[in-house]
Amino acid sequence: MPAPEAPGERLHRQLAFIDEVDRLKRVLRRNVVSDRSRRENSAEHSWHLALMVLCLAEHAAEPIELSRALGMALVHDLVEIDAGDTFVHASYDERDKLERERAAAERIFGLLPGDQARELRELWLDFERGQSPESKLVRMVDRLQPVLLHRATEGVVWHAHAVRRSQVERRVGEIEHAAPALWPVVQQILAEAVARGQLKDE
């Protein structure tokens, strides 16, 4: 049985965690915000995902527990504080990425009191596994959100990195099964991007 927390220790650990996760605002992603003025940060991305979960949960292929999905959306990228953001269309060592993210999860969630550390770490692991209805929904919006940003920015990042439609389709394929009603929308966005020369069709 864990030792009881000293008076004030629980709150101290919660505030330490809150201070630490503010660093997610400094983790820059490759995607740019819709007015193209700057790069998106990972905290903004997580907030956007949470709102998308609220708006799009009704399209999920399976019933979900909304509060769990929202928590997952908010914590799924906290490991990037230590591990950094990985550009999905670049070459990288998947094993190294996983090891860095696991170490980050242990450190960052470990700042919290034990029960909350376990709860948030489990949300993160659930997202990574992608097996629960909630994780399928959050992973779906995690794939959809960049596509919507690329549409809003006329594919500037896709074009800059010579991204191919087949690469994007592999990345977003989960959408077809997690929210079938959204798949034709994604296909239309990609077709329009190809027609406009924003995405390579090969």
Distance of CA 37 to the CA centre of its chain: 21
Asked whether 201 and 164 are in contact (CB, 8 A), the reply is yes
Map out the domains of the chain with their CATH numbers: 9-195 (1.10.3210.10)
Which stretches of 110-178 are DSSP H helices? 114-129, 133-152, 156-160, 165-172, 174-178
What residues contact residue 179 under an 8 Å CB cut-off, 6+ apart? 56, 59, 60, 61, 137, 140
pLDDT digits (tens, 9 = 90+) for 107-136: 999 999 999 999 999 999 999 999 999 999
Q: Say what the pTM is.
A: 0.92
Percent of the chain surpassing pLDDT 90: 89
Backbone angles phi, psi at 32, to 5 degrees: -110, 155
DSSP state of 181: G
CA 196, CA 202: separation in Å to the nearest integer?
14
pLDDT digits (tens, 9 = 90+) for 137-192: 999 999 999 999 999 999 999 999 999 999 999 999 999 999 999 999 999 999 99
Asked whether 165 and 200 are in contact (CB, 8 A), the reply is yes
Mean pLDDT of 27-55: 97
Model pLDDT, residue 6: 78
Model pLDDT, residue 2: 61
Report the mean per-residue pLDDT for the chain: 94
Res. 86 pLDDT band, cuts 50 70 90:
confident
C-alpha distances in Å from residue 98, one per residue of 43, 51, 75, 103, 128: 20, 27, 16, 9, 10
Res. 10 pLDDT band, cuts 50 70 90:
very high
**Residue 3 predicted with pLDDT over 70:** no
Asked whether 149 and 40 are in contact (CB, 8 A), the reply is yes
Res. 1 pLDDT band, cuts 50 70 90:
low
Model pLDDT, residue 77: 97
